[in-house]
Each structure stands twice: as structure tokens, then as C-alpha cells.
Amino acid sequence: MIANLNQLFVGFLDLPVTQRLIESSDRGSSRRVVELFLKGLEQNQANCREIRTLQQMAKHCGMGITSFAKYTRASVNVGPMEFLKQCRLNHAAQQLREQPGASITEICFFNGFNSSQYFATCFRKRFKMSPREFVSKQR
């Protein structure tokens, strides 16, 4: 009987350790989901066009906004909306390289920007030149 009680007590002592392991592995899977989502944004231009809000991004990953933002910042060292903007700008730059004759405004709207002026401002900040200068430099 004493041996059974000792096993029971040892089981209770191990319970918090087991619970912490389960919680930490759950956090790891959440982080992995966010990393895969962000990688999808980087690699697929269509994903960037679909997503418009932070709420959509968090919902897509199946988590709350705060948790999603925390995991995003831990993964890529910027906030989720800033990362989305960077991906859109990278896709736009790639498109400008591949299609130098295309309209900059069309590329701007195609990549999810609502204003060509805002696009030009963000593009200039990111690439240290205007979209038009970028296209002429690629030729």
C-alpha cells in the first residue's frame, strides 16, 4: 500500500513537468504554423493579394491577433502588416524586372496596394529609388 501511495505522489510531482512539455510543444506548433504562413506570403504573389487585414492573417493561422503578431515578430523581426508590405514590394519588384513594359500603376494594384502614390513612397523607402528608376535601371 505504501508503495502505491509513493507512486501516486511521484505521479503528482511529474504532472506539472508533463503539462509544461505539452504547452511548450503546442507553442512550437503555433510558431511553425505562422512560419509556414509567412513563407507562403513570401513565395506566392496571390497569397499577398488575398490578405488585406491583420485579422485575416491571424484567422488563417487559427489564432488570435496578439499571438499571431507575437509569433510573426519573433520569426521575421517585424510586425505582420510590415512583413506583408515587404512581400508585396518584393513581388512588385520581381514583376517590374520580368515585365519592364508593364504599367507601374497596374503592377501596384495587382500586388495589393490601393494607391499608386503610397506604392511609390514605400518602393522608394525599400529600394532607395522610384519604381520608374528601378525599371530603367533593369534595362
- CA pair distance 28, 9, nearest whole angstrom: 30
- CA pair distance 138, 131, nearest whole angstrom: 11
Establish if 49 belongs to a structural domain: no
Establish if 104 belongs to a structural domain: yes
pLDDT, averaged across the chain: 84
- CA pair distance 7, 1, nearest whole angstrom: 10
Establish if 39 belongs to a structural domain: no
Establish if 94 belongs to a structural domain: yes
Number of domains in the chain: 1
Q: What is the tens place of the pLDDT at every residue in 48-92?
A: 888 999 999 999 999 999 999 999 999 999 999 999 999 999 999
Q: Which residue has the higher pLDDT, 10 or 72?
A: 72
CATH number at residue 110: 1.10.10.60
Domain hosting 124: range is 84-138
Establish if 105 belongs to a structural domain: yes
Q: Which residue has the higher pLDDT, 98 or 20?
A: 98
